[in-house]
Structure 1
Amino acid sequence: MKSIKELVLSLFVLISFTACEENETKETTQEFKVDFEKFTLDNGLQVILHVDRSDPVAAVALTAHVGSAREKEGRTGFAHLFEHLLFLESENLGKGGLDQMSARIGGSGANGSTSRDRTNYFQTVPKDALEKMIWAEADKLGFFINTVTEPVLAKEKQVVKNEKRQRVDNQPYGHNFAVINSNLYPEGHPYSWEVIGSLEDLQNATLDDVKEFFNRWYVPNNVTLTIAGDIDVEQTKAWVKKYFDEIPKGEDIPNLEKQPVTLKSTKRLFYEDNFARAPRLTMAWPGVPQYHEDSYALSVLTEYLANGKKAPLNKVLIDDEKLSDNVSFYQYNSELAGQLMLTVTAFDQTNLNTVASSIENGLKDFEQNGITEKDLNRIKAKQETDFYQGLSSVLGKGFQLAQYEIFAGDPGFINQDVKNILAVTPDDVMRVYNTYIKDKNFVATSFVPQGQKNLILDNSILADIEEEKIVEGAEETFDPSVAATYEKTPSSFDRSIEPPYGESPELNIPKVWKKQLDSGIKVYGIENNEVPLVQFEIQISGGLLLENKDKVGVSNLLAELMTKGTKTKTPEELENAIESIGASINAYASEDNITISGTTLSKHFDKTMDLVTEILLEPRWDESEFELLKQSTISGIQRSKANPNSIASNEFSKLLYGENNILAYNNRGTEKSVKHIELIDLKDYYKNNLSAQLTNFHVVGDITEKNVVQALDQLNEQWQSVDVNIPELPLPLYPEKSTVYFYDVPGAKQSVIRFGYPALKATDNDYYPATVMNYRLGGGGFASQLTQELREGKGYTYGIRSRFSGSQHLGEFSISSGIRTNVTFEASNLIKQILENYGRNYSEEDLEVTKGYTIKSTARAFETLGAKLNMLSNISNYGLADDYAKQREAVVKNLTIEDVKALIENYIKPNQMIYLIVGDAETQLDQLVELGFGKPVLLNPNHENLD
């Protein structure tokens, strides 16, 4: 590992953020750089441009310096509400707004996010659509608010409330953050309420409230526009000025003062969680705002204390005391204040007082020993790799530039930020521990399963959480068909005319190289030197397919154990060897393979592959690690039994494949099967099933074919192949008739649905055409009928999708969503009607929109390293040609409406479908008879957790 001084120098050689007006003073180099140009319009709009010609795409991000911290008590959730509203309509885009345009122009899907301090809206588009995006973003900022009417607001309130139910109310530990924040921050502090707001505040929001909020904060002088990608700078400037210049400046917006907090005493709170199946202890200390000088050492501290085999908290809680398999410690820093969050999800029936005592022992260990220079450098190496990963897409670069502009006052703050990261010393880490954690007051929450109050931290008081009641007809109604009437905002030119496309970009298909090694390993690679990173994956066919139904979970445990040491390295030594070069190596199992994947700096690829070779060829078979993994897996299975989404996934597989098919099982196994697995089972699987002849190696990044092959020499020479027979499982047939199945989760705030049936394998000739056919049904986001009718038309859900998914061994069609509980029947019936009518209603317009999106979106199909890795996987696993993207383009261009209708007839079967619902049986079960498929089958009549 390099010294700190050397690491600083190497980073500054590789990284250079400079403003374009300084270009004449820069030396011409070949090093990695992210140049930018920044300018400000007269109305205060900050504009940042970055050129990246690696792919024919452009990323546009509009970031408003407003989040939940700018809201008023009693009117919370407004910033997040606008994240939703701004996609729906604007004066010149019309109804459907940015979402509909995204489908036409081949965009990545217009999206947004909200934090405590900012809201952003972003999309990556083919470069020929850049002017369209600038026009649309300007319309959003200056020509939008008049389109928000009472029906629009009423509908979007329901969507946001559904999101809260899905992400908070219907999730294990979902209310934990709200309890922490309302007790860590004093009443009235802008971080004392949640970003998503409260259901009551959202319901009480008036149209006047909403318009007042928009007019105050969504103004050019509070917004940063970032455009990154394959752009003409001068032309882009001209477009920005044309579309944004005449939007009037808003009132001056003063900077908010920092508002750090102190706790006068420690607070302990508890809650019996309806969805939890294991006790969880969270401890939160006041921290520091973003970019505070101490935030850098605190980042190292939290990483060192909890992450990895050497971490003091990991050693005590996981390895020694075996109280948990899940310890996390991190900073949650925002503009005005920050917090330190330590969370331990304990094993079943573990008393949280024991956990708290062990945390204290782990912290004492750190107090006595501190952090070594070697461990500090190991953590910094990881931060270096993470930095590059954040810049591996044009959107990532745009986000980072906007982040520094808004919260540090200068996109070029990266220079100081990196310097601050690398300047941290061991003394700094101990100093911030003593300043912010040692003997300091904190907030502690004990979230435990229902009826297990005996496990909570001593002296805890009941947390104040208001659970929503399930009431039929409780939501206000609205008519989504009512068109907004308003006087259009005047403009100096006709903004209703959508700008034309630019010159169409050529599909840039990465060049693939291939090599079969003597051992049988098949290597597929793409060289890409945009960032000094390499991503790779080793796929070994088999996985769950080679397991015995009585001991399901062997391949999963084997994959997990492979990274827990080698013959010559303890688990801690292996972990340190990986992290010291800034690499990551992970292993996991799936239905049809075991995969070892990783990311590394290109300069360390050889060392990384040496470690991968050791992991593969010299397993440690550590008995204690194996027992810990078994306990961890069983705990995870137990916890998943209370998660409605996990329940739906597991039960759907059982119904889809039947108990005699290995694919009916979750590859983690069941509590019973995992308990019966011994270490010898893993050794037998390893000996008999891991074969070089069944292995595909995919690699993308800043490395040549020659260097990859050389790095694989040892693995190629030493890995002995064995003959393995992958069973060819018969695919189940469509059900003869539809049946409704119900899994009861009393009090569920949403009904989780999984509707579907067995379908095409990924290798079937109709597989890709079927996915194209599905675009307007449920695969196209806001361009799909399911989203338009259930979310936009009725407000029943936050999101819904349909999809064909498959591999060379299996395939299925599924519809998935979380539906507001009190409309479970209505939503299910509407889905059924949409499916029944899809073929007869499919139109030329549907086909035109589908073709437009599918063909244009290929321009951004291979932009990131991850996308290129997925391309190699498609080529190797499914026998696709290197230019399969061009071939698919031809398939789409030649599709006729008759072709699509034939695909619908063959592969959309609403009356031969499994209808699975996980929800509150007491209030919803009986109504489902009206679907017309007979009496629903209750899967857990005695409320037992099915294994």
Structure 2
Amino acid sequence: MKKWILAAAISIAISGCAHEATTSSSLPDGVTLLETVQASDAIGIPYKKYQLENGLTVILHQDSSDPLVHVDVTYHVGSAREVAGRSGFAHLFEHMMFQGSQNVGDEQHFKVITEAGGTLNGTTNTDRTNYFETVPSNQLEKMLWLESDRMGFLLPALTSEKFEVQRETVKNERAQRIDNQPYGRLNERFNQAMFPAGHPYSWPVIGWPEDLERATVDDVRNFFKRWYGPNNATLTIGGDFDEVQTLAMVNKYFGELARGPEVNADPKTPVSLDKTRYISMEDKVHLPLVYMGFPTVYARHQDEAALDLLANILGGGKTSLLYKNLVKDGFAVQASVGHPCQELSCRLTLFALANPASGANLADLEQKITDSIAEFEQRGVTDDDLQKVKVQFESDTIYGMQSVKGKVSTLAYNQTFFDNPNMVASDLERYASVTKEDVMRVFNKYIKDKPMVVMSVVPEGAKQLIAKPDNFTPTMLPIAEEAVTGTENVRQITSSFDRTVMPKVGDAPVLKVPQLWTASLANGIEVMGTESNETPTVELLIYLEGGNRLPEMDKAGLASITASMLNESTEKRTTEELAGALEMLGSRISFGASATQSYIQVSSLTENLTPTLAILQEKLFSPAFAEADFERLKQQEIQGLQHQESDPNFLASRGFSSLLYGDDSHLSANAGGTLETVSGLTLDDVKQFYQQQYKAGNAQMVVVSDLNQQEIMPSLAVFEQWQGQTNEPMALPPLPKLAGGTIYIIDKPDAAQSVIKMGKRALPYDATGNYFKAFLMNYPLGGAFNSRINLNLREDKGYTYGARTGFNGNDLTGRFEASASVRSDVTAESVTEFINEIKQFQKDGMTEEELAFMRSSISQGKALDYETPYQKAGFMRIIQRYKLADDFTEQQADIVENITAKELNQLAAEQLKLSEMIIVIVGDKQAISPKLEALGYPIKVIK
């Protein structure tokens, strides 16, 4: 494919060579330029790399295509820096770093960035913790002030009270993401068997519950001292900024921070197993699962690329061996192979979800996987195997860099772990140079006849389904006496300037709203598009009005299964042949369906658009609708629906929608249908729905590309053969009367958390009327991280990992919904807090301060709305579907600027009446009922 630089042109400020920049008098004292990478013929990201005297690495990547900047601070510390019995510190510290610092008040970090119109987050894994924010470009200095203050001045603000609240928040996060999720504990159990006792990957990133309990605030203080110094961090900035000015600001805020203890890389010791280890666990799941793994190498080892290719051949999609032998033949609902790599170790993992229709014995499934591995040895590696994986890697690299955040994340990752941000081109070369012999060599070295870990996860009470009896028990090491060592010489500095003064910001950047064009194909299909030169790609979305709203209620799920059938074989080629053809192009075509529409999503490199659209034509106009495909997909859909019955969030959403809209309404129907409706579907139903739904009269198109209108419209002319008239919209049944003030319980025995949803029917979508104004009204109540409800339930009380409220609507109706997953023992208390917060807001409304916060956040946040092709496509789809004026965002901006607190508070009084709201709770009925009954509300148990 053609070579292409993944960035806008570098500005004059960084266009000089490294020598010229190094001797420039504009470089601040204490800042050293280490490297300059400019645009070239190879795929890559232009940047400059600097270092401060205290060891902080600074990477600057300029991209003026959008008026925003993305700031990333990555610390080379993750759970691998912890010790036995003291797990969870790195992740806990991710939370603590948002709790204010010496010069930034409690809860102010989120407030400052949100008010600036930005987004932010932090993540932790085994090897690093990163904090990042995307903001309008005029807010950059404020971000540097915030990040530097928590790097250098966190400890004076770290109190026991904050520590206890965040420990509870982490425990809630663990309950929500792990303990209360089907298969949630799989990875932590598997890693205990895969890695030796004491290996830094043998404990979970989030920590063992007992380790979190024994942690002290002094442990946390020492963890910060040991690992959060500037010499263990990389600051990466990408976007629209002035380089000289930015370097001066970086040096001002970070340059005087004290260097931390020296940090050495952990050894990359090979992991080996003495024999195949079998482990198992019972879980609240429907489908038995077998998960197998072989230890291999480590990230960027010379064998990593060949192992990645091996994983793709074995189980990387519909052309893989596991798909053919397990999924296609009906033994598994899902099966795949991966080769996840971390700094210290990689592993090749294989998993399969058993299909009960073919017997759910995991010993048989393990044998099928083993037979597939043996088949690979006999089959070998083909030229197509190598070509498709190499093309996929190159296209994924380009797709992954359609945003400044994607490019910044790549630079930060490569610098943190390999001391070299400039690895995009070398990575592509690494994969391009893999040979058939390389793949067979790594297969023989790491996989063939090698011991592995085999984990069985089976439904409670179904131990007889495991692959083999357990033969491994993890060794429990003594708890380390000290959680952290090496902090003796850490010092606190006194700043040379007043850090309590928040930096002022410059003028707001000029908003770059996409320039749109509209056209029609000869058959009347409307097309809306925009040109985007960030990457040489095309994003085409075709929407067809109807979806799950189109068939009768007794055929709910038909839209979804028809879309799935269109992802399968055609009259000319098999599913596998089509998948292989797309892989060779680095393209993606996906049919899907939602509650109100069916859709087709196409992603293609621009140079491969014509053959990609030829495949789409084949799939759209000549589907095979093979009986074997239908029976397999139907069985998968049924098993997926049964699996959802173990997901508390699904149960809550289904129960809430049914109460709001009635069981006989399309508005409450799950897009995937029900066990009863899907079981009754036939292939003839699919064929009839295809004729009804996939017609030109139902279709509209949105396209984002580096091609202009005149260049891309001829390519879309292939759809002019499409015919058919628009369907008449379906009439909906009358809406049920809500029993406001009633609590409905859906029993989930032994649930680790309770899922709460409360709300009412509300306004249908509109872009500039009361629906939009309700969004503004709700913002300080539950629409932002630092909203009243989230600060109450998460930050003040530690009841939940997150709580929110919001209005959601379409062209027919809408809803107001408040939701949270909370600790089971505080279910009633959480309901009380929701009620009190909504009641007070409905009565008194927002304050003038909250109004100003909302205005600032929403108006400035518009600078972030149109960066990626996907964002641009979503923006156009709203205009297209709801027939909005192209300048509707200007009308919204005028509303945000001029609406009064009185008008918004009147809307709150009308829309937030608690007497009209119902409450749905999914949890352990026996445990939560006594306290709920004491609240005095009517309670009903539903299924």
Say yes or no: TM over 0.5. Answer: yes
Q: Does 1:758 align with 2:766?
A: no
Deviation at 1:462, TM superposition (A): 8.3
Q: Does 1:304 align with 2:308?
A: no
Give 1:875's aligned residue.
879
Describe the SS at the equivalent of 2:623: coil
* Contact 1:181–1:193, Cα closer than 8 Å, also in 2: yes
Q: Does 1:328 align with 2:336?
A: yes
Amino acid at match of 1:751: S
Deviation at 1:819, TM superposition (A): 0.4
Q: Does 1:827 align with 2:830?
A: yes
Give 1:636's aligned residue.
640
**Residues 773-922 of structure 1 mapped to structure 2, 5 A cutoff:** 773-781=777-785, 783-839=786-842, 840-922=844-926
Amino acid at match of 1:199: P
* Contact 1:17–1:414, Cα closer than 8 Å, also in 2: no
* Contact 1:734–1:913, Cα closer than 8 Å, also in 2: no
Amino acid at match of 1:80: H
* Contact 1:300–1:376, Cα closer than 8 Å, also in 2: yes
* Contact 1:323–1:355, Cα closer than 8 Å, also in 2: yes
Deviation at 1:813, TM superposition (A): 1.4
Q: Within 2, Cα distance between the matches of 1:589 and 1:731?
A: 25
Q: Percent sequence identity over matched residues?
A: 38
Deviation at 1:619, TM superposition (A): 1.3
**Residues 162-181 of structure 1 mapped to structure 2, 5 A cutoff:** 162-181=172-191
Give 1:285's aligned residue.
294
Deviation at 1:688, TM superposition (A): 2.2
Give 2:593's aligned residue.
589
Describe the SS at the equivalent of 2:758: strand
Q: Within 2, Cα distance between the matches of 1:465 and 1:693?
A: 65
Describe the SS at the equivalent of 1:886: helix
Amino acid at match of 1:431: R
Match of 2:353 among 321, 345, 349: 345
* Contact 1:731–1:810, Cα closer than 8 Å, also in 2: no
Describe the SS at the equivalent of 2:759: strand
Q: Within 2, Cα distance between the matches of 1:350 and 1:464?
A: 27
* Contact 1:328–1:343, Cα closer than 8 Å, also in 2: yes
**Residues 34-183 of structure 1 mapped to structure 2, 5 A cutoff:** 34-108=45-119, 110-183=120-193
Describe the SS at the equivalent of 1:340: strand
Q: Does 1:555 align with 2:556?
A: no
Q: Within 1, Cα distance between the matches of 2:401 and 2:203?
A: 32
Give 1:213's aligned residue.
223
Deviations 1:693-728 (A, max 9, x none): 221111112122123221121211x11113411114
Q: Within 2, Cα distance between the matches of 1:179 and 1:257?
A: 23
Q: Within 2, Cα distance between the matches of 1:489 and 1:811?
A: 54
Q: Within 2, Cα distance between the matches of 1:243 and 1:379?
A: 44
* Contact 2:845–2:908, Cα closer than 8 Å, also in 1: no
* Contact 1:318–1:324, Cα closer than 8 Å, also in 2: yes
Q: Does 1:603 align with 2:607?
A: yes
Q: TM-score, normalised by structure 2?
A: 0.93
Give 2:25's aligned residue.
none
Q: How many pairs does the alignment contain?
A: 906
Deviations 1:348-375 (A, max 9, x none): 3510011011111211211111221122
Deviation at 1:307, TM superposition (A): 2.4
Residues 28, 577 of structure 1: CA spacing in aligned structure 2 closer, same or farther, 3 A cutoff?
Answer: closer
Amino acid at match of 1:310: T
Amino acid at match of 1:390: G
Q: Within 2, Cα distance between the matches of 1:673 and 1:80?
A: 44
Describe the SS at the equivalent of 1:305: helix
Match of 2:538 among 534, 539, 543: 534
Deviations 1:98-147 (A, max 9, x none): 11111211111x20100101000001000010000011110010011221
Q: Within 2, Cα distance between the matches of 1:49 and 1:447?
A: 46
Deviation at 1:872, TM superposition (A): 0.9
Deviations 1:556-604 (A, max 9, x none): 1100110102221111111112111000111111011111102111111
* Contact 1:179–1:464, Cα closer than 8 Å, also in 2: no
Q: Within 2, Cα distance between the matches of 1:642 and 1:465?
A: 31
Amino acid at match of 1:808: D
Describe the SS at the equivalent of 1:333: coil
* Contact 1:271–1:463, Cα closer than 8 Å, also in 2: no
List runs of 5+ in structure 2 lacking aligned partners. Answer: 21-35, 477-490
Deviations 1:858-905 (A, max 9, x none): 011111111101101111111222222222111111110111111111
* Contact 2:756–2:919, Cα closer than 8 Å, also in 1: yes
Give 1:702's aligned residue.
706
Answer with 264-273 or 722-731: which moved more. Answer: 722-731
Q: Within 2, Cα distance between the matches of 1:17 and 1:702?
A: 15
**Residues 318-467 of structure 1 mapped to structure 2, 5 A cutoff:** 318-320=327-329, 322-348=330-356, 350-461=360-471
Q: Within 1, Cα distance between the matches of 2:795 and 2:558?
A: 44
Deviations 1:462-481 (A, max 9, x none): 87799xxxxxxxxxxxxxxx
Describe the SS at the equivalent of 2:672: coil
Q: Within 1, Cα distance between the matches of 2:179 and 2:637?
A: 25
* Contact 2:547–2:596, Cα closer than 8 Å, also in 1: yes
Deviations 1:750-799 (A, max 9, x none): 00111122212113721111111111111112x21111000001000001
Give 1:656's aligned residue.
660
Q: Within 2, Cα distance between the matches of 1:624 and 1:434?
A: 36
Answer with 878-887 or 746-755: which moved more. Answer: 878-887
Deviation at 1:639, TM superposition (A): 0.5
Q: Within 1, Cα distance between the matches of 2:734 and 2:444?
A: 61
Give 2:323's aligned residue.
314
Give 2:269's aligned residue.
259
Residues 570, 734 of structure 1: CA spacing in aligned structure 2 closer, same or farther, 3 A cutoff?
Answer: same
List runs of 5+ in structure 1 lacking aligned partners. Answer: 1-6, 467-486, 941-947
Give 2:479's aligned residue.
none
Amino acid at match of 1:835: I
Q: Within 1, Cα distance between the matches of 2:314 and 2:242?
A: 47
Q: Within 1, Cα distance between the matches of 2:525 and 2:340?
A: 44
* Contact 1:16–1:33, Cα closer than 8 Å, also in 2: no
Q: Within 2, Cα distance between the matches of 1:249 and 1:118?
A: 18
Amino acid at match of 2:638: I
* Contact 1:20–1:37, Cα closer than 8 Å, also in 2: no
Residues 12, 312 of structure 1: CA spacing in aligned structure 2 closer, same or farther, 3 A cutoff?
Answer: same
* Contact 2:744–2:940, Cα closer than 8 Å, also in 1: yes
Amino acid at match of 1:335: E
Describe the SS at the equivalent of 1:709: helix
Q: What CA RMSD, in Å, does the superposition of the two structures yield over aligned residues?
A: 2.1
Q: Within 2, Cα distance between the matches of 1:883 and 1:436?
A: 59
Q: Within 2, Cα distance between the matches of 1:337 and 1:836?
A: 53
Residues 250, 142 of structure 1: CA spacing in aligned structure 2 closer, same or farther, 3 A cutoff?
Answer: same
Amino acid at match of 2:756: I
Answer with 881-890 or 219-228: which moved more. Answer: 881-890
Give 1:928's aligned residue.
932
Amino acid at match of 2:507: E
Q: Within 1, Cα distance between the matches of 2:884 and 2:734?
A: 22
Amino acid at match of 1:319: K
* Contact 1:644–1:752, Cα closer than 8 Å, also in 2: yes
Q: Does 1:678 align with 2:687?
A: no
Q: Within 2, Cα distance between the matches of 1:731 and 1:22?
A: 71
Answer with 305-314 or 728-737: which moved more. Answer: 728-737
Q: Within 2, Cα distance between the matches of 1:690 and 1:454?
A: 46
* Contact 2:45–2:422, Cα closer than 8 Å, also in 1: no
* Contact 1:17–1:36, Cα closer than 8 Å, also in 2: no
Q: Within 2, Cα distance between the matches of 1:708 and 1:165?
A: 49
Deviation at 1:730, TM superposition (A): 5.9
* Contact 1:851–1:892, Cα closer than 8 Å, also in 2: yes
Q: TM-score, normalised by structure 1?
A: 0.93
Describe the SS at the equivalent of 2:766: coil
Q: Within 1, Cα distance between the matches of 2:530 and 2:736?
A: 39
Q: Within 1, Cα distance between the matches of 2:95 and 2:543?
A: 40
* Contact 1:352–1:457, Cα closer than 8 Å, also in 2: yes
Deviation at 1:735, TM superposition (A): 2.3
Deviation at 1:459, TM superposition (A): 2.7
